[in-house]
Structure 1
Amino acid sequence: MIFCQTGAAQAHELPAWVPEDARNYLAHTEGGEAIRKLAREAGCHASTVLRQVRRIETLRDDPLVDGALRSLGKFQARMSQQSTKELDRMREPLSDEITPDAASLASEARRILRRLCESGSVLAVAAEMDKAVVVRDTGDGGSTRTAVVDAPIAQAMALKGWIACDAPGRISRYRITAAGRTALSKLLAEQESKLRGFAEAQAGFDTSHQAEEAMAAAAADPQARRRHVMAESPLILLARRRDTKGDPFLPDDLVRAGERLREDFELAQMGARVAQNWDRFLTGDVESSAAGTAARGPDAARERLIAALRDLGPGLGDVVLQCCCYLEGLETTEKRMGWAARSGKVVLRIALQRLRRHYDENQRPGGGLIG
């Protein structure tokens, strides 16, 4: 992709994730640059830049795209008003306050786009709200919230064409696009080495040579892991099944417990610890937050994840880690653990019942909210 260098440093100062056509649009509408000048700098015909500008203009009816462009225009204007010395001092706060950087967008997009790949999932955005939520249709006329994301992240995903809304309104509903699925595959490929580190966590449950070999095989097959991530969660598939009485095999409260664990798993990967070796993840030799200091953000999610898996212990912890966090299929988990065929769903239900009890016993005021 060619990034136009518009005028001085205006286009250069935009975050790296901003698409070329949006850069040209902002340079023309906010910076006053001529179409022909932008075309010369990009090495293309003026009609190409004109089409880009017109395409972005037609997208401004989309509330997220419009919000992204307004934020970027504000960001660019504030940048240009600062002297070089002031700019160096204020660049980081401005980036966090107005628009996300490329690293933040990639981390959050992995989490949100995964959720949007699930059947019946949409990103709901209400006007003037600073958060957007991913909700999934439960199939019985109800819905459940599976993730929360800051509005600037949602705006960036819409501007990049990863999500789209058919009918904007007071509450707009966005779905993942083909471009979003392609972007998710690329983001997951970049994250693969970090996911391998998490795969080693299972060795903390069973230190036998057989378990270590199984985890090494899992880490050595990134394509298989990526297929699991792109598929629907095993919890959702089991929730659709009925028992002999006609009741759901997994009630909603058990599904919510598993999704809460997965949410903490995703959030924990966003912190500075994601590149560490997780061999000591569940062996009792894992650092906690300093005494008197409450962990926040990814660190807090990491501690909640550790506490939940330790409470479940071997076997039960294994199955929720594989099926809820890695999204591994039950048949694969059964083979990995050496269990009898079709026994995995029973063990998973028992594990989720124990996990739900863990969350009930450790419920804090205002807790239990995803994201």
Structure 2
Amino acid sequence: MQRQSAQTLPEWVPPEVQRYLDHTEGGCSIRQLARDLKCHPSTVLRQIRRVENRRDDPLVDCAICELAVAHFDGQTAPKYRQFTDAVMLKAAALEVLARLCQSGAVLAVVEGMEKAVVVREGEAMMSKFAVEQGLAGNLALLGWIGCTRPGRLRRYHITPMGRTFYSRLMAERENQARAKLEQGFSEAQSGFLPKQGDKVKDRRTRYGLGETPLDMLARLHDKSGEPFLARALVDAGKRLREGFELAQIGDHLAQGRAYFATSESCGRALPPKQSAASAAAKKRAAEAMAALGPGLNDIALRCCCHLEGLEVAERQLGWSARSGKIVLRIALGQLKAFYDEMDERLGEARSNQLIG
């Protein structure tokens, strides 16, 4: 027998979850849902199966159960009633997603605990941030966080969908703040506001360059839960970039000094003279690239020094998709071995201050 919903579901609930609840809790048949959506019943069936498979995640299962109780049984859902509004959910999720975007941040959920915590791996527990179980369940239901290590202590990382939503939400807030500042001059300077008929050009979203391709790969985990790139491999890649950047800076400074030091009576500029530090950095970078050899030094130069993305590097080199990260890991392993051998040969302790 078909059971009607006590009240409409919140607007932030994904359409697939709404159809799943209408079928499992409301008693609406798949064919009826397909007729309402004007699609084939197999399309609705695949959507319902996807949601059913996601219920293996305890957070997603709890969120769906609470929505079913609140909107089909008419009972109160204390964990989720404060997030029925989409605006309230976005405001609460913004702080959680901002912390999860940090390197090494995870959302830990312990079985039997009322709250989850956001911590950064390797840091003291004093920096933890408590999160309501209801909010964590909504984030998992929306696909903004995903479980990477199941068990009694489950760990959740932010997903690419969550990062996209966080970037879009931050851009909206930035645009709103900018609009308020511009409106503040409207009384004295009304000419700054666009007139009717003028085409307003969309502002390009700003992005930060503090995160390198190596940092993005370092957040990935393999099937066993281990980081795709060890910290030593990331440091080796940043060390290569350090030598590359120091050599480039030294070349520019030497060329500038040679240009301004040229006499007016001289017909051509003197060849620039590099400093000892710049020459040493250039020598180290050249030796590292020579040690990698052709193929490996191409991907290392593009991703570590020029900060090109893996997709761009694969397209430029003519490689197959998703093969660049494997080759880059091999290159970083040989690069680490080269630097270890060089440090042992020179017998010098190197500073840990790296670029990026």
Relative contact order higher in (CA < 8 Å, ≥ 6 apart)? 1
TM-score by length of 1: 0.46
Query: More helix per residue: 1 or 2?
Result: 1
Select the structure of larger CA radius of gyration. 2
TM-score by length of 2: 0.48
